[in-house]
Amino acid sequence: MSQLIAPSMLSADFGNLEKDIEMVNASKADLFHLDIMDGLFVPNISYGFPIVKAIASKAKKPLDAHLMIVDPDRYLDAFAQAGVTYLSVHYEACTHLHRTIQKIKSLGMKAGVALNPHTPVENLTDILLETDFILIMSVNPGFGGQSFIKNSYSKIKRLKQMIDERALDTLIEVDGGVNKENAPLLFESGADILVAGNAVFGAKEPILAIKELKKPL
C-alpha cells in the first residue's frame, strides 16, 4: 500500500505562493494537488492555467489536477502542456467517460475518475480497468475546510475490494476533511493518496504536519 500525501494548493497563501511551493518541495509530500473549479459544476471558482503554470515552474514533485468542471474534454491538452502528471475528471461530468480517460492517457498523463459523495463506487465497474487512480470525495466538492463524511470509510473499503478482485494496480485517492486523526484509518481502509489542505497550510508547522500525515500504520 502506498502512503502518499498531496497538499492541496487551494489552501495555500496566494500572496506568498512561491514560499508555499518551496515548503511542499522541502517536505515529505509526494504530489501537488490542484483543485480546478469553474463555478458551474461546483459553486466556487478557484484558479486557471496561469496559476497552474506558475506552480509547475517551481514544483519539484508531480502535479495532480482535479477537474471540478463541466465538459473537461475541452482542456485536457492544455493541462498536459502545463505539466500535469495526474489528471482526474468527475464521473458525474463526463458523458463519454471511457473516451475521456483514453484521451488523458494518450496525452501521457495518469488518468483518474473522481466520485462525488453520493455516487456509488459500483458505478465504476465498467471503467475501473481503464483508470490509474480513483478520487473519492469525502466532502461535497467546491469548498475547503468542510467536515469529513464518515461513510467514506466503507466506500473506500468497497472500492479497494473491487480493485483487489480484479488484481489491478489502481490507486485510491481521498480528498476532503483529511487530518492527522483520520489519516491512519483512511490508509488502513485502502487509501493510497491523501489530499490535505487546511491540515497542512493551516498548521503552525506545515512540514511537520505533512510528516505526521505520512506516519506508517
Gap between the Cα atoms of 50 and 134, Å rounded:
26
Asked if pLDDT for residue 1 goes beyond 90, the answer is no
pLDDT, tens only, 200-214: 999 999 999 999 998
From CA 51, how far away is CA 201, in angstroms rounded?
A: 17
User: Residues with Cβ < 8 Å from 62, sequence gap 6 or more?
Assistant: 30, 31, 32, 85, 86
* Cα–Cα distance measured from residue 82 to residue 101, given in angstroms and rounded to the nearest whole number: 18
168: containing domain: 4-213
Q: What is the mean pLDDT of the chain?
A: 94
Residue 68 DSSP SS3:
strand
Q: How much is the pLDDT for 13?
A: 94
Residue 166: which CATH number? 3.20.20.70
Q: In this predicted structure, what is the pLDDT of residue 144?
A: 61
Catalytic status, residue 175: yes
- Tell me the per-residue pLDDT of 123-133, one tens digit each, with 9 for 90 and over: 999 999 999 99
Confidence class for position 94, pLDDT limits 50, 70, 90: very high
Q: What is the mean pLDDT of residues 79-90?
A: 97
Q: Which of 20, 30, 38, 175 is catalytic?
A: 175
Give the pLDDT confidence score for residue 142 in this predicted structure: 66
Listed ranges 15-24, 44-53, 146-155; the one with the highest mean pLDDT: 15-24
pLDDT of residue 42: 85
Specify the number of domains making up the chain. 1
Cβ–Cβ under 8 Å, residues 59 and 25: yes
User: What Å distances lie between residue 199 and 50, 55, 105, CA to CA?
Assistant: 25, 20, 31
Query: Is 132 an annotated catalytic residue?
Result: no
Q: Each residue of 148-201: pLDDT tens digit?
A: 888 999 999 999 999 999 999 999 999 999 999 999 999 999 999 999 999 999
Average pLDDT for 110-130: 96
* Set 35, 38, 132, 192: catalytic member: 35
